[in-house]
Structure formats: C-alpha cells, structure tokens
A and B are shown apart, each in its own frame.
Chain A
Amino acid sequence: MTQGLFHQNRSVAWFLLALALFVLLVTILSEAAGNGYLSTSFVKTLGKTLCLMLVAVAMDVVWGYTGILSLGHMAFFGLGGYMIGMWLMYARTELIIADSLRAAAIPPTPEEIRDAVGQQIFGVVGSADFPWLWIFADSLVLQLALVVLVPGLLALVFGWLAFRSRVTGVYLSILTQAMTLALSLYLFQNEAGLRGNNGLSGLQNLPGLDAVPQATLSIWFFWASAAALALGYVLFAWVVSGKMGSVIRGIRDNESRVRFLGYHVESYKLFVFTLTAVVAGIAGALYYPQAGIINPAEVAPIASIYLAVWVAIGGRGRLYGAALGAAAVSLLSSWFTGGGAPDINLGVYTVQWTDWWLVLLGLSFVAVTLLAPKGIGGLFDLLSRRHPVPLRTGDFGPDKGARRTVEGEEEK
C-alpha cells in the first residue's frame, strides 16, 4: 500500500526529503545546537510556518481536491490551539501557585489551590470560578483528546447539516464564514469561559520545564511540527491517491454524476471535511504553544480567507503546492510586516510595507488567479514536463459538427 503510494506520488518522497533536509539545516544552525545563526524567535517562526503548511495541505484536500471552498478551517485550527492552551495555562498556573503557597504555615488544601488558580487565570475577566469548559483542563491526556474531538465534532455536525441540505458552492463558503465568525464572536465574550478578548497567554512556557531554555523548547516544537507535517502529508497523499482520490475529484468536477454512479456524495464530503478539520486542530495545537498566545481574533473570518489565498497562490490540486504557498506567503508576510523589507521613498510618498503588504498580497492573489491558475506548484510542471493536474480540454458535450437536439437542459 505505502509502496504503491510512493510510486504513484513521487512528490511525496521528494517532499519528505526536502523537509528532512530543512529540519536538519535548521537544527544545526539553531541556538539549541550551540551556535546562534538562527535566533530562537526565528526558529519559532519556522516552526509556526510548518504548522501553517500542514493546515494549508488540509485546505487543499478540502478545496483543491474535493471542491469545497471552506472559509472556516482556521476555526478548527484555533479550536485546537484553545484546547491545548487550556491545559498549558492551567497546569503552569497550578505549579506556580503550589510553589508560592508551599511557604505558608498551614499547607494548602487542593481546594484552596484550585481556587487560587481560578483567581489567577480568571481575575482578568472579573471572575474566579472555573467555567464548566475547564473540567478536563488539569489532564493533559484529556485535553489532547479534545484537540482532536472538538474540531472533529464541530466539523461533523456543521458538515452534516450543510451537506445534507445540499448547500454547495459560494453558499457553503458563506456558511463556513458565518461559522467562524460566530465562533469568534462567542469567544470574545467573557462569559464563554475562555478569557474573552484576553485569550490564553503564556503558552510558550511548558509546565514543569522551566529549567529548559526557550531555545531548546523552540527546536522541540519545530521537530514536532515537522513530524506532524510529514505525517499529515503522507496521510493526505494516501487519501487523495487511489480510488478515494478518484471519487473526491469526481465530486469536485461533477457531483451529480458521482451520485448517479451510486456514491453517497454527502458522506464523502463529510469525511473529507471532518478529517481535514481534525488535522487543522492538531496543527493549531502545535502552532499556539510556539506563538505563545491565542485570542478570538485568531479565528476571525479573515484568517480562513488567508488560508484560501495561500492555497490559491501555492496551487490548488497538489499538496506540495499548498504547502509551498503557505510557507512562501506567511514567511513573506512576517518579513514585510516585521519591518524586514526596507521602505521605498518615492519622494512624494514613502511606501511603508507594514501598510502596503496587504495590497501587494491582494494584487498577487489576483495576478495568480488570472495569469497562473496553477500557482507556485505549476512551476514544477516545467521541470517534470508531465502534467499531473490535467487541464480540462474543451467544453463538455458535442462539438460543433455533432448532431444536437434542443431538448433537455444541461445535466447538472
């Protein structure tokens, strides 16, 4: 099976090789290895980029392969981050409180510690009680399970409702935007129990690992992100190859034809939607400990639109294209907005990239859509001279010389 996979998709082997070399290079150059060619914060940026590449690959499966333009996958990414963030924040605060109370004359009861932790975490939103959401927050195992379960269940329920009603195309995209907007607005409320607009912070500090320097932690997370990307890439390459790939590409190109072949299209969409949501959740759970903070703005509708832009620029319908698109755009974005790009003085006006980067991104999105629909991934066709993503040749239906009948609408 796996042999067949590598045989079918030579890009999988190349991608894994390139990823392995990249990880090796970054590891050698990192501060953790004793030399400081790459700063810890840059290693974190690279680690975060790997997580974004993973969610972009998932987005490509759902959009590029199955044809569902989901503009809500960053909601699943954010939920994954929130789930791991709850444990990180709880466990670390608990350790700090326990430490400070140890000096007290009377040893504190577990009750007192829990109250103090609540005071510490929720003081900022004027509360001291743990909302019901946090019942599992003291257990790493359960919160890790929630990283998978919460995005998975949300996607399952949302997808079931949407696909069952045969909502497709732009209407589905709007619905997913509404979902992520609703989630974001809900999380902004203090009553939601996730600290409102403050979000969860201090996630870069792992509980019990205070002695480990951030340089080392950053490279650990970098490795974990790379491993997740590699596994996710292989998983999705397996899903989109073979017969499953054939069915979902069929759904993308002609949904009702697939239906008339006897496939229950809604189940397939639900499968892809949920699987990609779960992977997005895992990617988020690796991303936010590197970012250090998560707040409701992270699941705002714009985040999911960016995700679609990365995949479009990278090239839909091929996994490495999406991964490259996410890497290129997010790294360029942090370069431009982080003050890396020098301002351009035009005499009358100074172009400051922090303001103009979004304009540049928008223009390149339009340019890619119009001029190079295959995106960055299309460049590889020039190398291999093969065309793994065939263009549709000509219209459906009879050519001009063929006998035609007027009756019957176009089959939809």
Chain B
Amino acid sequence: MRTLLEMSGVSVSFDGFRAINNLSFQIAEPELRAIIGPNGAGKTTFMDIITGKTRPDSGRVLWGEKSVSLLKMSESQIARAGVGRKFQKPTVFEAQTVRENLALALKNRRGPFDVLLYRKTRRGAARIKEIAEEIGLAAELPRIAGELSHGQKQWLEIGMLLAQDPRLLLVDEPAAGMTPAEREHTTDLLRRAARTRAVVVVEHDMEFVRRLNCKVTVLCEGAVLAEGSLDHVTSNQDVIDVYLGR
C-alpha cells in the first residue's frame, strides 16, 4: 500500500467562512475510506479541492508516485490523472442514451481531434457491455438516460465512474434514494472497486458505512475530528458530542 493522495495543511474560506481548516488527509492505493460528518463539515468542499473545482487558500495536495501537486492542474487534467467523482445528485447526460453516457466516460484519449476521429472499437463495446451488466443496465443501453428511474441514474453514474477507470474514486452519497437491495449492491460494488483502487465514500447513513466495513474519517468544521474504525470513532467523546449525540 502506497500513499496515493496526500493533503496537508489545507485551508479554504468563502467570504470569511472557513469551510476547510488546516485539513490533513491521506489515502493509500488500494483503500476504502468512508467520510462522515455533520452538515457543513466541509465534505463537499473537500471533494471540490481534490477535483480542482475549488482552489485552497493554503496547503498542499500531492498525488501519485511522483507527488505532483494537484493544485496546479485544471479539473480535466486532474480527471485524466485518475480522479473520478460521483456527485450527490445523479448527474448523467439526460438527453443521451445509456450507451452514449458510458462511452463518454470510457477511458480513451480526450483531445478534440482524438474524439473527432474516434472510431468505435469492439473492445470498447465489450467494455461498455461489461459495465452495463455490472450496474444492471444491460437491457437499458439504447434508452435515453433521462427516462431512467432515480436509482438507475445513480447506477449509471457509478458505471460511468467505473468506465473512467480512475485510481481514486470520490463518491458522494452513493446510496441516496436507493432501495435496501440496491444499497447492498452498491456496497458490494464499492468494496470490489476498492480492491484495486482508492475509494472515498462520503455518506450520512451509518448503516451503510457499517456495511462498508472500512476506516472512517470524521470531519467537523473543516478539520479531521477522528479517524479509525467505525466502532473506534463512534466511541470517541468528541464525535458523540458534535455528531452522534444530536
């Protein structure tokens, strides 16, 4: 296990409000990590910083073997370097088919001319089919993504993430709006993905986190409050005070 991502001393404030306060965080590859925390703890901002959407005021974010700084890279460069993100609300391209959505995410060269001259390959088609089967949408490939149910859109977005083949997956509330059976399937999928990659799951649902059975980081007011197994952090008095006690 080598460290894939290392954040240290990261701070960011919006209009005087400190969303992230001297945050340090590390994740190895492969590893599965859950992040919990009360509302406003800075979980989404944390993801925004890693994916390049928000620039921190201070601190370092280092990536990979060569420890390159992610802070100098654009969102698309970071994504190409191997960071995949799933949003809280499912954001798929509603006007396009499930197949097109997956093909867009499929790991390929991303330049405009590469894309313009791109030709469908048998390997690509096979990979799309494979992913579609994994997320249970094999029968829906020709359908317009906008017609899918909420749960299916969540799946599609997870499928797009898999198609991207990232080294680090950032997953924001993957189980929101899912039925218990679907949640179980999601847990399996994330755990399987975490065998070869680093996976960070932001989740509110304790039951879901328990099933992930992994190291947990508790965020509060933009900093790490506690870290360890779920049982360890839930017995921490600080955590109980700010989060579980309420």
Of A253-261, A325-333, A351-359, A376-384, the one touching chain B: A253-261
Asked if A246 meets B88 with Cβ closer than 8 Å, knowing A1-B119, A239-B116, A268-B112, the reply is no
Within 8 Å CB of B116, what residues of A? 239, 244, 271
How distant is B130 from chain A, measured CB to nearest CB, in Å?
19
Is B144 in the interface zone, CB < 8 Å from A?
A: yes
Stretch at the interface among B1-9, B172-180, B193-201, B225-233: B172-180
- Any B CB within 8 A of the CB of A402: yes
Number of A-B contacts (CB under 8 A): 124
- Of the candidate stretches A21-29, A47-55, A170-178, A387-395, the one touching chain B is A387-395
Rounded to whole Å, the gap between the CB of B179 and the closest CB of chain A is 10
In the assembled complex, how far is the CB of residue B213 from the closest CB belonging to chain A, in whole angstroms?
A: 22
**B75 and A398 contact, CB distance less than 8 A:** no
**0 or 1 for each of B168-195: is its CB under 8 Å from A? (1 = yes):** 0000110011000000000000000000
On whether the beta carbons of B76 and A263 are closer than 8 Å, the reply is: yes
The reply on A200 being an interface residue by CB < 8 A is no
Residues of A within 8 A of B172 (CB): 408
| CB-nearest residue of chain A to B51 | A260
Closest partner residue, chain A, to B75 (CB atom): A259
* Chain A: interface size category: 35 or more
A265 within 8 Å of B (CB atoms): yes
Which single residue of chain A is at the shortest CB-CB distance from B114? A243
- A207-244 residues with Cβ-Cβ distance < 8 A to B are 239, 242-244
Give Cα A390 to B53, complex, Å: 30
- Is B16's CB within 8 Å of the partner chain A? no
**A390 with B104: CB separation less than 8 A:** no
Chain A nearest CB, measured from B89 CB (Å): 4
A107 contacts chain B at the CB level, 8 A cutoff: no
Let me know if B176 and A390 touch, CB within 8 A. Answer: no
Determine whether the beta carbon of B93 is less than 8 Å from that of A253.
yes
A246-B96 contact, Cβ under 8 Å, with A254-B91, A398-B150, A399-B177? yes
Q: Say yes or no: A406 contacts B39, CB within 8 Å.
A: yes
A249 CA / B145 CA spacing, docked (Å): 14
Compute how far the CA of A394 lies from the CA of B100 in the bound complex, rounded to whole angstroms. Answer: 20
Shortest B139–chain A CB gap in Å is 18
- Identify the closest chain A residue to B44 (Cβ): A408
A393 to B147, CA, bound (A): 6
Q: What are the residues of chain A within 8 A of B104 when measuring CB–CB?
A: 243, 246-247, 250, 258, 261
| 0 or 1 for each of B88-113: is its CB under 8 Å from A? (1 = yes) | 11110111100010011100001110
Residue A102 lies at the interface, judged by CB distance under 8 Å to chain B? no
B146 & A265 in contact (Cβ 8 Å cutoff): no
**Among the interface residues B39, B112, B172, which one has the most CB atoms of the partner chain A within 10 A?**
B112
Tell me which residues across on chain A come within 8 A of B84, comparing CB atoms: 260
**Nearest-CB distance from B52 to chain A (Å)?**
9
Are the CB atoms of B95 and A405 closer together than 8 Å?
no
* Given A261-B104, A398-B177, A405-B88, A267-B112 contact (CB < 8 Å): yes
Cβ-based interface call for A10 (8 A): no
**A-contact bits for B38-64, CB 8 A (1 contact / 0 none):** 011001100000010100000000000
B110 touches A390 (CB 8 A): no
Contact (A408, B88) CB under 8 Å given A1-B119, A243-B115, A262-B79: yes
Asked whether, in the complex, the Cβ of A392 is within 8 Å of the Cβ of B150, the reply is no
Knowing A243-B118, A264-B74 touch, does A407 contact B39 (C-beta < 8 A)? yes
> B residues within 8 A CB of A264?
74, 76-77, 110-112
Q: Once bound together, how far apart are the Cα atoms of A91 and B74, in whole Å?
A: 50
In the docked arrangement, what's the CA distance between A410 and B93, Å? 16
Instruction: Verify A261–B44 contact, CB threshold 8 A.
Output: no
- Apart from A390-B94, A410-B89, 15 more pairs, CB < 8 Å: A243-B118, A244-B116, A246-B100, A259-B76, A260-B76, A260-B84, A261-B79, A264-B110, A391-B146, A396-B91, A403-B176, A408-B44, A408-B88, A409-B44, A411-B89
Q: Report, nearest first, the 6 A-B pairs whose CB atoms are least far apart.
A: A402-B177, A262-B79, A397-B89, A262-B80, A398-B177, A407-B39
B residues whose Cβ falls under 8 Å from a Cβ of A? 39-40, 43-44, 51, 53, 74-77, 79-80, 84-85, 87-91, 93-96, 100, 103-105, 110-112, 115-116, 118-119, 144, 146-147, 150, 160, 164, 172-173, 176-177, 204
Interface residues of A (CB under 8 A from B): 1, 239, 242-244, 246-247, 249-250, 253-254, 256-265, 267-268, 271, 389-394, 396-399, 402-411
